[in-house]
Structure 1
Amino acid sequence: MSHSNGVTEGLNNKIKLIKRIAFGYRNFYNFRARIYLQRLYTF
């Protein structure tokens, strides 16, 4: 049985994308909330 870190790599890429798009967020809490929303609607 083979193991892959593809899911983790995909999540990291989505977070990096949100980070690039959301450069203007005022604080870390808004940024974190955006990541949680993305995860909620992705899975």
Structure 2
Amino acid sequence: MKLNLKNPLVFFDLETTGINITKDRIVEISLLKVHPNGKEEI
């Protein structure tokens, strides 16, 4: 998919053990930054 960006865009993803905020935990965090020129940073 081609994006026509003027500014960088960051995608944010969390991997968790569940959806209960008092019991479950975050086990992985991932960010992907896409620049207007198409360059990607993890």
Higher fraction of helix? 1
Structure 1 or 2, whichever has the larger Rg, is 2
Give the TM-score normalised by the residue count of structure 1.
0.24
Q: Which has the higher contact order (CA 8 A, sep 6+)?
A: 2
Higher fraction of strand? 2
